[in-house]
């Protein structure tokens, strides 16, 4: 996959993904990727086609084994519900 949304790591290359407030989804598009979180006790090994939700508030370190490509997906912005106009008296429209 060759597009602007895919990050490609070369053999042994590591990358730290900064913490964000909201969780994000990491999806491996090629190769194998090692993933760990700050404050986490577990390491994760992901292969092409697999994904993992990255927790909000934690830095994440990823490393290619031997090389990998992945996409980091942001959650969709939550849509605000439109506010209703204050209740009032409605005047009928004549035809």
**CATH number of the domain that residue 41 is part of:** 2.60.120.10
In the predicted model, is pLDDT for residue 80 greater than 50?
yes
Residue 89: inside a domain: no
Residue 93: inside a domain: no
Cβ atoms of 9 and 68 within 8 Å: the answer is: yes
pLDDT for 74 equals: 81
Q: CA 29, CA 8: separation in Å to the nearest integer?
A: 9
In the predicted model, is pLDDT for residue 12 greater than 70?
yes
Is the dihedral angle over the CA atoms 63, 68, 73, 74 positive or is it negative?
positive
Q: Flag whether the pTM goes above 0.75.
A: no
If pLDDT is split at 50, 70 and 90, which confidence band does 1 have?
Answer: very low
Range of the domain at 37: 6-73
Give me 30's structure tokens.
């090629």
Cβ atoms of 73 and 22 within 8 Å: the answer is: no
Residue 79: inside a domain: no
Residue 36: inside a domain: yes
Residue 86: inside a domain: no
Look at the chain and report how many structural domains it folds into.
1
Residue 83: inside a domain: no
Residue 92: inside a domain: no
């Amino acid at each position: 996959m060759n597009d602007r949304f895919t990050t490609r790591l070369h053999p042994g290359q590591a990358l730290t993904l900064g913490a964000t407030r909201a969780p994000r989804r990491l999806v491996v598009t090629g190769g194998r990727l090692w993933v760990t979180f700050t404050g986490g006790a577990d390491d994760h090994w992901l292969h092409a086609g697999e994904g993992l939700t990255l927790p909000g508030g934690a830095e994440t370190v990823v490393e290619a084994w031997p090389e990998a490509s992945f996409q980091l997906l942001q959650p969709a912005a939550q849509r605000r519900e439109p506010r209703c106009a204050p209740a009032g008296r409605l005047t009928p429209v004549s035809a």
